[in-house]
Amino acid sequence: MRFHKYQGTGNDFVMIDDRQRIFPAADNALVRRLCDRRRGIGADGLILLRTLSDYDFEMVYYNSDGYVGSMCGNGGRCTVAFAHRLGVIQDKAHFLAADGPHEASIDANGIVRLRMIDVAGQQDTPDGVFLNTGSPHIVRFLPTSTLAEYNVYAEGRAVRFGDAFRERGGTNVNFVEAPVIDGQPWQVRTYERGVEDETYSCGTGVTAVALAAARRGAVSPVPLRTIGGDLSVSFELHADGTFTNVYLNGPAEFVFEGDIAL
């Protein structure tokens, strides 16, 4: 089977051109094996690019646990870059993902601008601020100079599997340090549901952070820094607390391609 490997700020994906619908989509064990960093190709997730009427393509996203996941922002950006490489799109895309339709554009430098869903508001919880940006996220703000040494795995796992979110299927958890100087990036580390570990970057996560940070004075576009690199999020904030015209912006890069025996 032919595959392509892509990454967006260190969040990496196995990409499959499944326009002929030949990938065994119900084989969760196969997805896990392909994403395994020791026994497979290795990735945070696997994405199928499929044809779909009325859209340029459909994006079907699997977490590395082998199961279909909710929206993946960095995965969406990488799928746009993949579609561009395949000639499915030129510089603009209209595609369907788990949370509904998306629009995107890609420039000559591989920077993808992806429109995310509108967000109705945010909920304060004992664990942090809760938002759904296509995937559920908790945003927890930390004191200055504590993020680098923070135990993201242990603290994130405790929230992800905690009683408050168990009935919702769990949540992703973002830990954030505000910039000391205005205009500098907000620092973000994320524990991802479905990967069940910290990832180098999470697109829906930094989107949630940017929107939560707006209540703390952040102004669109918000610069954000993850372990894997820099992203930015722009938005319009309305008087009722809703966010519209939310865009995730950042690089999406082809890494390599090859064939693997199934």
Q: Where in the chain is the domain with CATH 3.10.310.10?
A: 2-116+251-259, 123-248
Whole-number Å distance between alpha carbons of 18 and 209? 33
Tens of pLDDT, residue by residue over 237-256, are 999 999 999 999 999 999 99
Q: What is the pTM of this model?
A: 0.96
73 annotated ligand binder: yes
Q: Which fold has domain 123-248?
A: Diaminopimelate Epimerase; Chain A, domain 1 (3.10.310)
Percent of the chain having pLDDT more than 90? 97
- List the catalytic residues: 72, 202
Q: In terms of CATH architecture, what is 2-116+251-259?
A: Roll (3.10)
Whether 220 contacts 235, CB under 8 Å: yes
167 annotated ligand binder: no
204 annotated ligand binder: yes
242 annotated ligand binder: no
DSSP 12: E
- For residue 168, pLDDT over 90 is answered with no
Percent of the chain having pLDDT more than 70? 100
Cβ count within 10 A of residue 249 = 17
128 annotated ligand binder: no
- In this structure, what are the phi and psi dihedrals at residue 84, rounded to the nearest 5 degrees? -65, -45
- The pairs formed by 102-107 with CB atoms below 8 angstroms and a separation of 24 or more are 102/76, 104/76, 104/77, 104/80, 106/80, 106/81, 106/252
Q: Buried b / exposed e across 169-189, counting CB within 10 Å, b at 16+?
A: ebbbbbbbbbbeeeeebbbbb
Cβ count within 10 A of residue 22 = 10
- Which pLDDT score is estimated for 141? 98
**Burial class for 116, CB neighbours closer than 10 Å (0-12, 13-18, 19+):** buried
Q: How confident is the model at residue 145 (pLDDT cuts 50, 70, 90)?
A: very high
- For residue 71, pLDDT over 90 is answered with yes
Residues in the chain: 262
- Which pLDDT score is estimated for 45? 98
